[in-house]
Structures are given as structure tokens and as C-alpha cells.
Amino acid sequence: MTDRTAAPVNASATAPVTVVGLGLMGRALAGAFLTAGHPTTVWNRTSSKAADLVAGGARLAPSIGAALDASPLTVVCLTDYDAVHELLGADGVTLDGTTLVNLTSGDSAQARATARWAGLRGARYLDGAVMAVPPAIGTAEAIVLHSGPRADFDAHAPALAALGTVSHLGEDHGLASLYDVAGLAMMWSVLNAWLQGTAMLGKAGVDAATYAPFARRIAAEVADWLPGYAEQIDAGSFPAEVSALETDARAMEHLICESEALGVNAELPRLFKAMADRAIAAGHGGEQYPVLIEEFGRPGKD
């Protein structure tokens, strides 16, 4: 048994680690620790999911309590936060002295509440978010975000680095979840915009594979605008250096009309236009597109 309370200030790059939860992501996390040379203990309600990991050198704990006792650092990746509370809050489970890194998906309120819950039970707690698919875990392409006390992150950063490119966002336990959902907003927005254009071009016989390289170049060019637009947002000043919002709104009308003429769903461009119209009505027509942050920053209408 590992003495949890004796965890060093800076755990070594081959310190023992426990992984709780062996879905696709959990198995990838445990596999990355094994590959990096960490003595790895695993636990899952369905123990058969650990078979390949055990064959690769992992130790299957007989109980959740034994899994927590095996390492000063436990990485948790379960279905949701309710499952985390149910499992780690069960009778006989002791969290005192351990460091929990919770990579379960959820929202920022759940992350903050779970940090308080774990702290009351004597655990050090970091919340996290995995911005990668399971096959990428263990490579530099896997982005793993953490939030919570900096000292707790620093103590285990060498071990956590086995998972990919890791970063600490701040002391607020909710930041990793917020970054996660903000990333999802980017992902779905880009994909939905690409699907809109693909549907339109499809009416002219252009297949998706032909349009994709063009769309990729457009997406990359727009991404290059973000640092400058961020400066405008942070300064609260939106001079029309490239295009005024009222000009963009006229182009949005072209997109709506073209979609409707082709028999393509126009809900998405109508949403763009509705938000722009509200900002223009509020007197922002002569400012640059990032002024729409004011529309995004207030509650929407059902």
C-alpha cells in the first residue's frame, strides 16, 4: 500500500498512478501511463475491461478502496459527476491524503462543487478536461487541461505529462470545464458552417471532398483573425478596420437568400443575421464584427 500522505512535493516522472474508470478514454489514459513507465493500478466496475491493461503490466485493484490506496495520484474518468460522487462517496471509501485528478466531462458548476466535496473528505483535487480522442492520448496532439491549486498540479505534472500536452489554467476549479465547452462551441460552429456550405454546393453537383480543401483554407484564415479580434474585445473598442457589421449583415442576407433559393436549410444563417440585426439596432452597425460579443454575452431568447 502506498502512503498517500507521503506524496513528494514533486512526484517523479515514473511515480505510481491509479486510473479509475476504463471506458475508451480511461483505457487510453491508463495505457499512456504504462507506456511512460508508471506503475499503474486500475479499477473498473466491469473488471474484464482491464484485461488488456493487465496483460500490459497494470495491476487490477480488487476494490475502489484498494485502487485509491495504491497510489498518491488517482485519475478518474467516469460517465458523469454523479458517478464520481456515487463511487468515491460510498461507505468505506477514504479520500484523505490522496490527489484526485477528475477528467470526467461536466460543467464548471459541477467541477467547483466536486472540488468542495472532495476537499471536505480530505482530498487534494484538480479538475480537468481532455481535448482529444482516445487514440491521441500519450502524444503531443492530446491537449489535457487542468484547473485547481497550482501546487497540486506542479506536484504531479511530471506524471500527468505522460497523457500528452498538459497545462494549468488557473486556481478556479471550473476553468477546465469552461474551456472544454468553449472548445465544443468552436468545433460545432466550424462543422455546422462547413455542412451549410457543403449542402449548398452539393446542389450544384460539387461533392464534399472537393469543397473541403477550400473550406479548410477559409477556416485557417478566419482563425488568424482571432488574436486581433481578441484585442478589440478585451479593450471594449471595435473600430471597423476590415469591415463594418452592417456590411457583414448584407452578406448574411445573400447567404440566406442563396440557401433558400437552393432549397437548403437557412436556420443557421438566419441566426447570424438576427444577432447582427440586434447589434445594428443598438447602434453598432459601423463597428467591426467582434462587437457581437455583447449579443453573445447576454441570455438568449427561447
pLDDT, block means (10 residues), the chain with 302 residues: 47 85 98 97 96 97 96 97 96 94 96 98 97 96 97 96 97 97 95 98 98 98 97 98 96 97 97 97 98 92 59
Rounded to whole angstroms, the Cα distance separating 221 from 176 reads 27
The pLDDT, as a whole number, for residue 9 is: 45
CB distance 103 to 76 below 8 Å:
yes
| pLDDT of the residue at 300 | 72
Q: Do residues 105 and 81 touch, judged by C-beta distance below 8 A?
A: no
pLDDT in the model for residue 207: 98
Give, rounded to a whole angstrom, the gap between the first and last alpha carbons of the chain: 54
> Looking at residue 146, what is its pLDDT?
98
φ/ψ of 40, rounded to 5, equals -120, 125
